[in-house]
Each structure stands twice: as C-alpha cells, then as structure tokens.
Structure 1
Amino acid sequence: MKSATGTAETGAIQLAFTDFKEITKARLAISVVFSAVAGYLLGASEIRAVPLLLLVLGGYCMVGASNAYNQVIERSLDKRMHRTRHRPIPSGRMRVSTAMAIAIVMTLAGVALLYQLNPRTAFFGALSIFLYTCVYTPLKTVTPLAVFVGAIPGAIPFMLGWVAATDNFGIEPGTLFMIQFFWQFPHFWALGWMLDEDYRRGGFKMLPTGKKDTGTVVQIIMYTIWMIVISIIPVFGITGRLSLSVPAAVLIFLMGLVMLWFALRLYELRDRQSARSLMLSSVTYITLMQIVYVVDSFI
C-alpha cells in the first residue's frame, strides 16, 4: 500500500513538474536565457558567477512569466489548435488560478533578481513582459503587425545580457538588439507558414500578408538580408566596444547565406517542409552566431 502511495505521489510530482515546464515553455525560456548569457559575456569586463546566476534565474523567470500569462489569456484559443490543446490549461490539468499564481510569482521574482544586477536590467525585463503579454498577445488575433510588436520583447534578451554586465545602454546593446530583432521575422514567418492552418483555427494572424503567398516569402527574404547585414556591422569598427574580427564576420556571413538559401528555397517550393527547414536553419543561425561573437571576443 505504501509503495503504491509513494508511486502515485512520485507520478503526481513528475506531472506537476512537466506541467510547470510546459506552462513556462522551458525549452524556449532556456534558449532566451542562452541569448542573455551570450550578451553578458560580450559586455562583461570580468565574468562573475553571482551576477551570471542572477541573470540566468531572473531571465528564466521573466520568460516563464510571459509564457504563463500568454497561456492564460489564450486558453480558449489554445483549445482549438492541435498543437496547443494538450497544454496544461486547455487540457484541464492546471487551473487558471494556478497558472496566474505561477506567472505573478515569477514576475516578482524575475524583477527582483534582475534588479540586483542593476535597475536598467530590471526595467527591460519588465518591459519585455508587458509588451509580450499586454500588446503582442492581444494583437495576434487582430493584425499581422503583432509580429512586429512581438519582435521587440523577442530581441531584448541578447541586449539584456550586455546591460546586465555594464549597467549601460548604448550602441553596443542597441546593435545586439537589432540583430535579434531582424532575425525574429524570418524565424516567426517560417513558423507561421508551417502552422498556418492551425493558427487559423485559433484566429491568429501571423503571416505578413495574411496568407502563404509571394509577398510573404519576399518579406522573409528581405528581412533575412537585413539580418545578415546587421550581424556583421561590428566588423567595421562603428559599434563601440562591440567588435568582430574579419574571420568571424566572414563565418557569420556564410552562415547567413545558408539561412538565405533556405528562404530562397521556400520562395521556389512554397511548401511546409521548406518552411520547416528555414525555421530550423534560423534557430541554428542565431545560436551559432552568438557563439561566434562570444568566442571571437575572447580570442
């Protein structure tokens, strides 16, 4: 009997942990924290464990809170879509009040942790929650321009790391922001192309023209080109302390061309598989680009 009870308790704990990861979108949150850490390593004159830990924990809390608020707001829409109907709230595994409690606690904890670094970091973290929750989320069912709004909080983490390390906002974090800002568009529009039918079930307007057409792909290509250009701007020595060696710039340029090739492939084929390939290449690009920046700064 005790063994059965213990097994049931263990199962309940595991399910609660799984639901917590899902309500905070753990994989997405970790990727966002990775961007913030990369920005910190670029900006820090010396790497200290405590500030880095505060950034990691505070960053996860801020992203997790945004995702929890999002799932509370969109719970009725999530029920309509195949990819989201099994989330904790629409499936009935988690109450709305529980999700809200998680979101509020993580908001307060995140702001408090980031404030320990400096007030600017806490401000930008709080701003990202506000824009994602109060502006981007409601706009998703109203206009495709929601993606432009969502690109702002989506681009903050890379910049946030630099601000956390330096307590300064200037051309360096501004450049990091712009790199990730322009990256958002081909990434999310590729995802929107892949999931267009499902998004329509939820009433979301994610593609710039509202449909999978030439206009959408052309915009994907143009934003990819801008992303590549901005990613290598530091090689010209005009972005303050943020610099990039010629070999690193060439490597990033070549990686950008790979992503551009997938965008051109989508233009040619207009199918779901091409959109998926572009989306995956965009994730690979942003990760490797940040690694190249960090490694280059230490060489």
Structure 2
Amino acid sequence: MKTAVSSANSSRLALVFADFKEITKARLAVSVVFSSITGYLLGAVEINYFSLLLLAFGGYCMVGASNAYNQIIEKDLDVLMDRTKNRPIPSGRMSVNTAMFIAVLLTVLGLVSLYFLNPKTAMFGAISIFLYTSVYTPLKTKTPLAVFVGAFPGAIPFMLGWVAATNEFGVEPGALFMIQFFWQFPHFWALAWMLDDDYKKGGFKMLPTGKKDKGTALQIIMYTIWMVIISIVPAFGFTGRLQLSVVGATVIFIMGLFMLFFAFRLYENRDNVSAKKLMLASVSYITLMQVVFVIDKFI
C-alpha cells in the first residue's frame, strides 16, 4: 500500500513539474539564461559565481513569468491551435489562478534577484516582462508588427548579462542587443512559416506579408544579412570593450553565411522543410556565435 501511495505521489509531482516547465517554457527560458550568462562573461572583468547564479535564477524567473502571463492572456486562443491546446491552462490541468500565482511569484523573485546584482539589470528585466506581456502579446492578433515589438524584449537577455556584470549601459551592451534583435526576425519568421496554418486558427498575424510568399522570404534574407554584419562589427573597434579577433569574426561570418544559405533556400523553395532547416540553423547560429565571442575573449 505504501509503495502504491508513494508511486502515485511521485507521478503527481512529476506531472506538476512537467506543467511548471510548460507554463514557463523551460527550454526557451534556459536558452535565454544561456544568452545572459554569455553576456555576463563578455562584460565581466572578474567572474563572480554568486552573481552568475543570481543572473541565471533571475533570468529564468523573468522569462518564466512572461510566458505564464502570455499563456493566461491567450488561454482562449491556445485552445484553437494544435501546438498549444495541450498546454496546462487550456487543457484544464492548471487553473488561471494557479498560473497567475506562479507568474506573480516568479516576477517578484526575478526582480529581487536581478536587483541584488544592480538596479539597471532589474529595470531591464521589468521592461522585458512589460513589453512581452502588455504590448507584444496583444498585438499578435492585430498586426505582423508584433514581431518587431517582440524583438525588443527578446533581444534584452544578451545585453542584460553585460549590464549585470558592469552596472553600465553603453555601446557594448547596445551592440549585443542589436545582434540578438536582428537574429530574431529570420528565426521567428522561419518558425512562423512552419506554423502559419496553426497560427491562423488562433487569429495570429505573424508573417510580415501575412503570407508564405517571396516577400516574406526576402525580408528574412535582408534581416539575416544585417544580423551577420552586426555580429562582426566588434572586430572593427567600434564597440568599446566588446572586441572580436579576426579569427573570431571569420568564424562567425562563415556561420552567418551558412544561415544565409538556408534563407535563400527558403526564398527558392518556399516550403516548410526549408523553413525548418533555417530555424534549426538560426538556433545553431545564435548559440555558437555567443560561444565564439566568449572563447575569443578568453584566449
């Protein structure tokens, strides 16, 4: 009997944990934390591991809170889409009140954690939550410009790490912000291309032209080019302490060309297979690019 009860409790806890990961979008949150940590490593003169822990915890809380608020706001639309109908709220596994409690708790914990680093970091974290939940989320059913608005909170994590390390906002974190800002357009539009039919069920307008056409593909190419250019600007000495060697810039440029190749393939084929390859290439690019920046600094 005790074994059966223990097994049931374990299963229940596993389901609760799974729903927590879903409501906070754990994989996305972890990738955001990774961006913040790389930004911190680039900005830090001396690495403080307690500060890194605060940044990672606060960053996860900020992203988790934003996603929880988003799923509360969009609960009636999530029911309509295949990719979201099994989320905790629309499926009935989690009440709105529980989700709101999680969102508010994560907001408080995240802001306090980031404030202990410095007030500027907490301020940018708060701005990120506000823009994502109060501007980007409502705009998604109104206009494709929502993606432009959403790119602002999405670009904050990379530069947030630098601000956390230095308590300063200048050209260096500005450059990190711009890299991730322009990266988001080809990444998200590739994803939106794949999910366009499902998005339309919920009334979301995510592609820039509203269609999977050459116009959308061309904009993806243009933003990819800008992303590559901005990624190697630190090699030319215009970004203060944020620097990049010729070797590092060459590696990043080559990676950017690979991503651009998949953008052109999408323009030629205009199919979901090409969109998926571009999306995967974009994930690889942002991760490896940040790794190259860090390695380049320390060697």
TM range (shorter): over 0.9
Distance in 1, Cα, partners of 2:166 & 2:2: 54
- Pairwise CA distance, 1:4: 1.4
Distance in 1, Cα, partners of 2:7 & 2:285: 43
Report matched runs for 1:105-144 at 5 Å.
Answer: 105-144=105-144
Instruction: For residues 14-73 of structure 1, give each alpha carbon's deviation from its aligned partner in whole angstroms, at most 9, with x where no partner exists.
Output: 000000000000000000000000000000001111100000000000000000000000
Instruction: For residues 253-277 of structure 1, give each alpha carbon's deviation from its aligned partner in whole angstroms, at most 9, with x where no partner exists.
Output: 0000000000000011110000000
Structure 2 residue identity aligned to 1:165: A
Stretches of structure 1 that go unaligned for 5 or more consecutive residues are none
- Pairwise CA distance, 1:6: 1.2
Q: Which residue of 1 aligns with 2:180?
A: 180
Residue 45 (1) aligns with residue 36 (2):
no
Between the aligned residues of both structures, percent identity stands at 72
Residue 268 (1) aligns with residue 255 (2):
no
Instruction: For residues 268-290 of structure 1, give each alpha carbon's deviation from its aligned partner in whole angstroms, at most 9, with x where no partner exists.
Output: 11100000000000000000000
Instruction: For residues 152-196 of structure 1, give each alpha carbon's deviation from its aligned partner in whole angstroms, at most 9, with x where no partner exists.
Output: 000000000000000000000000000000000000000010000
Distance in 1, Cα, partners of 2:116 & 2:73: 30
Report matched runs for 1:276-291 at 5 Å.
Answer: 276-291=276-291
Residue 7 (1) aligns with residue 2 (2):
no
Q: Which residue of 1 aligns with 2:98?
A: 98
Any idea what SS the aligned residue of 2:92 has? Answer: coil
Q: How many pairs align?
A: 299
RMSD (Å) for aligned C-alpha atoms: 0.4
- Pairwise CA distance, 1:105: 0.2
Distance in 1, Cα, partners of 2:279 & 2:49: 33
Structure 2 residue identity aligned to 1:221: I
Structure 2 residue identity aligned to 1:279: M
Q: Which residue of 2 aligns with 1:167?
A: 167
Normalised by the length of structure 1, the TM-score is: 1.00
Q: Which residue of 1 aligns with 2:219?
A: 219
Distance in 1, Cα, partners of 2:31 & 2:224: 20
Any idea what SS the aligned residue of 2:243 has? Answer: coil
Residue 207 (1) aligns with residue 171 (2):
no
Q: Which residue of 2 aligns with 1:235?
A: 235
Distance in 1, Cα, partners of 2:2 & 2:230: 61
Moved over 4 A (4+): none
Structure 1 residue identity aligned to 2:37: V
Structure 2 residue identity aligned to 1:218: L
Q: Which residue of 2 aligns with 1:152?
A: 152
